[in-house]
């Protein structure tokens, strides 16, 4: 059976990681890199990669899917063209700037019978038994999320990262999104968001965000995402009535149905391959993607929309997705 061609659009940090994941898997082939910045395009050529213009890639029947590794605000025209050309999607996080934008991508891909997936690779680190009865297992749970990744505020004052239209936000969107997504996988649909405190590097670009989220399951989550502390720390703790779980630096511990559950941390590069493995299997006629589905991102997009676009100290209901 031939290899499935994937084109990676954007050859920055994310794009390079996608190229590595595609290259590591049997049955997938990097069909093209699309890059508008001449210096980044040159780096791809020097790495021996096939750099091609987007229209040529869209017209190529050997390209089955586009991995869209652009800043959020640069993606909409590329995603629309990809769907119009019948290409399946792998979208980087945060996959949309608003619930309405996400709904548009999901609907257009579904109407065209295309798979839409997302690079929320940390979902694959959660043990299956933990995901199995979520969110019912954690109804009315008390949960806490802390993400600390030290960065100089200047990082969020340059290029697209300083532009809310392109970046959506700062540390919450670009460093917090993975664990916020994990919280939604376990706790379900967020219904109310209350930002409690916020520091910005530039207008609309947060370097620290503290907030509170209520889920339809009754679970309550306290959120701290910061780049202002020195320690690197990532931890989600969920305390249910009987069960509990903690994901810390990618490793899971907990107790479910009276039994201990543990899962070691796995390298992010391996988790990214899991995302592509689901898509590759589906494109070969196997089961449709599951964990990597873009439709599983409605929670995190609504949650961040609420925390970022609500005045501090006030509570807002989630916008429908
Ligand atoms: N899932 C992950 O672990 C992970 C890791 C890194 C980044 N990301 C996400 O990926 C997104 C991009 O971040 P990054 O750090 O790679 O950014 P980056 O600036 O390093 O790379 C973006 C690249 O896209 C190119 N580009 C912009 N518009 C383009 C267009 N229309 N066509 C072709 N190329 C275009 C730019 O020239 C640049 O080279 C962000 O949303 C970020 O949060 C996710």
Distance 71 CA to ligand 1 centre (A): 5
What confidence score (pLDDT) does residue 320 get? 85
58 and 132 part of one domain: no
Q: Which of 92, 118, 122, 167 should be mutated for ligand 1, with most atoms under 8 A from CB? A: 92
CA torsion 208-214-217-218 (nearest 10°) is: 130
21 and 142 part of one domain: no
Report how many domains make up the chain.
2
203 and 249 part of one domain: yes
Using CA positions, which residue lies closest to atom 1 of ligand 1?
A: 119
306 and 286 part of one domain: no
Q: What's the mean pLDDT in 126-142? A: 95
How far is C-alpha 276 from the geometric centre of its chain's CA atoms? 14
170 and 303 part of one domain: yes
Q: What's the mean pLDDT in 268-282? A: 98
d(C-alpha 11, C-alpha 98), whole Å: 24
149 and 208 part of one domain: yes
User: 177-187 and 298-308 helices cross at what angle (nearest 10)?
Assistant: 120
Beta strand extents in 50-129 (DSSP E only): 63-68, 88-91, 116-118
For residue 36, the domain's CATH number is: 3.40.50.720
Ligand 1 atom nearest 37 alpha carbon: 37
For residue 229, the domain's CATH number is: 3.30.360.10
Instruction: Label residue 2 by pLDDT band (50, 70, 90).
Output: confident
Of the listed ranges 153-157, 170-174, 287-291, the one predicted with least confidence? 153-157
**CA 111, 11, 205, 186 torsion: positive or negative?**
positive
What is residue 139's DSSP assignment? Answer: T
Give the DSSP H or E segment for 197. Answer: strand 190-202
87 and 151 part of one domain: no
Ligand 1 atom nearest 16 alpha carbon: 16
Classified as helix, coil or strand, 286 is coil
d(C-alpha 73, C-alpha 101), whole Å: 11
Q: What share of the chain has pLDDT > 70, as a percent?
A: 100
What average pLDDT is seen over the chain?
A: 97
In this predicted structure, the answer to whether residue 112 has a pLDDT above a threshold of 90 is yes
227 and 285 part of one domain: no
Q: What's the mean pLDDT in 107-128? A: 98
Give the DSSP H or E segment for 45. Answer: helix 38-46
Using CA positions, which residue lies closest to atom 18 of ligand 1?
A: 12
83 and 104 part of one domain: yes
Closest by CA to 126, choosing from 248, 252, 235, 249, is: 252
136 and 243 part of one domain: yes
Dump pLDDT digits (tens) for 55-91.
999 999 999 999 999 999 999 999 999 999 999 999 9
In this predicted structure, the answer to whether residue 1 has a pLDDT above a threshold of 60 is no
In this predicted structure, the answer to whether residue 231 has a pLDDT above a threshold of 90 is yes
Q: Which of 13, 37, 78, 269 should be mutated for ligand 1, with most atoms under 8 A from CB? A: 13
Dump pLDDT digits (tens) for 187-204.
999 999 999 999 999 999
176 and 303 part of one domain: yes
Matching residue, tokens 């043990």: 127
Ligand 1: which residues within 6 Å by Cβ?
9-15, 17, 34-37, 40, 69-72, 74, 78, 92-93, 119, 174
- Domain membership of residue 145 as a residue range: 123-264+298-317
131 and 246 part of one domain: yes
């Amino acid at each position: 059976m031939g290899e499935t061609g994937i084109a990676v659009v954007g050859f920055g940090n994310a794009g390079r990681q996608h190229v590595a994941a595609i290259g590591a898997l049997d049955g997938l082939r990097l069909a093209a890199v699309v890059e508008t910045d001449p210096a980044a395009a040159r780096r791809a050529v020097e790495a021996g990669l096939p750099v091609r213009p987007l229209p040529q890639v869209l017209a190529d029947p050997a390209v089955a899917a586009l991995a869209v590794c652009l800043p959020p605000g640069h993606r909409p025209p590329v995603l629309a063209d990809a769907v119009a050309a019948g290409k399946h999607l792998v979208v980087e996080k945060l996959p949309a700037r608003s619930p309405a934008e996400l709904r548009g991508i999901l609907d257009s891909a579904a109407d065209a019978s295309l798979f839409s997936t997302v690079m929320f690779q940390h979902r694959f680190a959660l043990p299956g038994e933990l995901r199995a009865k979520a969110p019912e297992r954690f109804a009315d749970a008390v949960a806490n999320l802390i993400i600390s990744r030290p960065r100089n505020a200047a990082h969020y004052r340059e290029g697209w990262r300083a532009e809310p239209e392109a970046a959506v936000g700062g540390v919450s969107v670009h460093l917090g999104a993975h664990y916020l997504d994990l919280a939604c996988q376990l706790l379900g649909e967020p219904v109310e968001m209350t930002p409690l405190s916020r520091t910005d590097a530039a207008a609309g670009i947060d370097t620290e965000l503290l907030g509170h989220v209520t889920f339809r399951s009754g679970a309550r989550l306290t959120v701290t995402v910061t780049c202002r502390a020195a320690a690197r720390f990532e931890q989600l703790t969920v305390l249910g009535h009987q069960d509990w779980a903690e994901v810390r630096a990618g490793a899971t511990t907990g107790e479910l149905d009276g039994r201990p559950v543990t899962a070691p941390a796995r390298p992010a590069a391996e988790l990214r391959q899991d995302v592509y493995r689901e898509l590759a299997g589906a494109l070969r006629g196997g089961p449709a993607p599951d964990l990597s589905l873009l439709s599983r991102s409605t929670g995190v997009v609504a949650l961040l929309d609420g925390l970022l676009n609500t005045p501090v100290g006030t509570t807002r209901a989630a916008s429908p997705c």
